[in-house]
Structure 1
Amino acid sequence: MISLEFLLTSAVVVVTPGAGVLFTVSTGLSRGRLASVWAALGCTLGIVPHMAATALGLAAVMHTGALAFQLLRIAGVLYLLYLAVMTWRDRMAFETDATPTAHHPARLVGKAVLLNLLNPKLTLFFLAFLPQFMDPADPTPMRQFTLLSLVFMAMTFGVFVLYGMAAHAFRERVAGSARIRDALRRGFALAFAAMAGRLAAGDR
């Protein structure tokens, strides 16, 4: 059921940088190793609503209902712009002595969940991608769908944690430079804004 082709294709999808990767990396750079793990967990949990919507058949409505899709996309654009503004304004971002209590795990997970919850591409991903790897002869299609989805989520969490660890290692090397910290803060803010623009301009 879980083919090598599915694993390789899923790996490509997960590794390709997107808003979730950007959020996890920026968290690892600004808040450290543990915070990046919480961010990765939140991004992974943010997949669950899209998985559930597909399983319940709501994804078909999202796929055919232009208004519903557009509303979700607009919400995603606005949230990415919010992250861009907050990152740009956070002068304490990427400070090595930033207090960990400033970003409670629950808040980090919540922000990450919301980020992926407002990503309409995930619903379409589950609708168009996973069925290609399901056996039509299997009498338990929901079991297949759930298993493939859980594998995809596990891969997402693992890859995002690695991204966060790499970001933390990079942070330890460059965080002593105020110029580099400012460049990182502005760079990530612009990257969030660019993703908002790409999402706003994207086709259905």
Structure 2
Amino acid sequence: MLLEFTLTSLIVIATPGTGALYTIAMGLAQGRATAIVAAFGCTLGIVPHMAAAMVGLAALLATSDTAFNILKLAGALYLIWMAISVWRDTSLLAPPGETRQQGAAKIIRHAVLINLLNPKLSIFFLALLPQFVHPDDPGALAAMTGYSLAFMVMTFVIFALYGTFAAMARDKVLSRPQLTVLIRRIFAAGFLLLGIRLALAGR
């Protein structure tokens, strides 16, 4: 079961989404250390969804249109706001001397909110965890906790790798002003499209 869980998790985590996009953006903008902070924040944003799945709160999102739509709309609006911010922030991919550095707390806050406001994550864990843990098993809670922690570790490692690879290309990217403008607009468009997709998503 562990192998199946690992393979399933790796496919889900490695598929680029909002968290990966944000981590890559921070790697390009401020370097490897900042990308790792962003990866940590994205990983923290998973915790509430896992906790919700464990206590059954995710079932509410799966069955209540109102609860699901409220959280979905909040997440979509936040991603659209991120898109506008990235589009307008000319300092995001500016040369090192001109970059407005963001503090770790702000980066973590953004990263947590990106994942926290995505109701699909709670439903994903509600659907995923029961496949690998039988509810009648006396050690079910411990097993779910173990699987959840493993998912978090994989998330952090993969996102940190994304950010590290982005940081490695940082100097080449920042030395070409026209390329930085293009990349910043691509990131903005990415957040916008992900926000629209979330807004239109069904359960």
Q: What SS class does the counterpart of residue 96 from structure 1 fall into?
A: coil
Q: CA RMSD in A?
A: 1.4
State the match for 2:109 in structure 1.
110
Question: What is the match of residue 133 of structure 2?
Answer: 134
- 1:42 aligns to what? 41
The aligned residue for residue 11 of structure 1 is: 10
Question: 2:62 — aligned with what?
Answer: 63
What are the Cα deviations for residues 148-172 of structure 1, in whole angstroms up to 9, with x where unaligned?
0000000000000000001101212
Counterpart for residue 193 of structure 1 = 192
Aligned 8 A contact 2:91 2:98 in 1: no
**Alignment check: 8 A CA contact 2:91 2:99 kept:** no
CA 1:115–1:98 in structure 2 vs 1: closer, same or farther (change >3 Å)? farther
Aligned residues: 203
Q: Distance in 2 between matches of 1:41 and 1:124?
A: 22
Tell me the distance in 2 between the aligned counterparts of 1:178 and 1:126: 42
3-state SS in 2 of match to 1:129: helix
- Tell me the residue number matched to 1:160: 159
Relative to structure 1, the CA distance from residue 79 to residue 113 in structure 2 (aligned partners, 3 Å threshold; closer, same or farther) is same
Deviation at 1:102, TM superposition (A): 2.6
Q: Is the contact between residue 86 and residue 92 of structure 2 (CA under 8 Å) also seen in structure 1? A: yes
Q: Is the 8 A contact 1:79 1:115 kept in 2?
A: yes
Secondary structure in 1 aligned to 2:94? coil
Report the Cα distance in structure 2 between the residues aligned to 1:198 and 1:59, rounded to whole angstroms: 20
Deviation at 1:202, TM superposition (A): 1.3
- 2:170 matched residue in structure 1: 171
Give the TM-score normalised by the residue count of structure 1. Answer: 0.95
Contact 2:37–2:104 (Cα < 8 Å) also in 1:
yes
- Shift in Å at residue 138 of structure 1? 2.6
User: Which segment drifts farther, 96-105 or 48-57?
Assistant: 96-105
Structure-2-length-normalised TM-score: 0.96
What pairs up with 1:141-156 in 2 under 5 angstroms? 141-156=140-155
Code of the residue aligned with 2:121 in structure 1: it is L
CA gap 1:60/1:137 in 2 versus in 1, 3 angstroms: closer
Query: Unmatched 5+ residue regions in structure 2?
Result: none
Report Cα offsets for 1:121-141 as digits up to 9, x if no partner: 110111001110114553121
Identity %: 46
User: Secondary structure of 2:92's partner?
Assistant: coil
* 1:64-83 mapped onto 2 (5 Å cutoff): 64-83=63-82
Task: Give the letter for the 2:93 counterpart.
Answer: F
Q: Residue 5 of structure 1: CA displacement?
A: 1.1
Post-superposition shift, 1:99? 6.8
Q: Distance in 2 between matches of 1:98 and 1:162?
A: 25
Contact 1:42 1:108 in 2 (8 A): yes
Check whether the contact 1:31–1:98 (CA below 8 A) recurs between aligned residues: no
Structure 1 residues 98, 128: closer, same or farther in 2, change over 3 A? farther
CA distance in 2, matches of 1:146, 1:102: 36
Relative to 1, partners in 2 of residues 1:181 and 1:100: Cα closer, same or farther, differing over 3 Å? closer
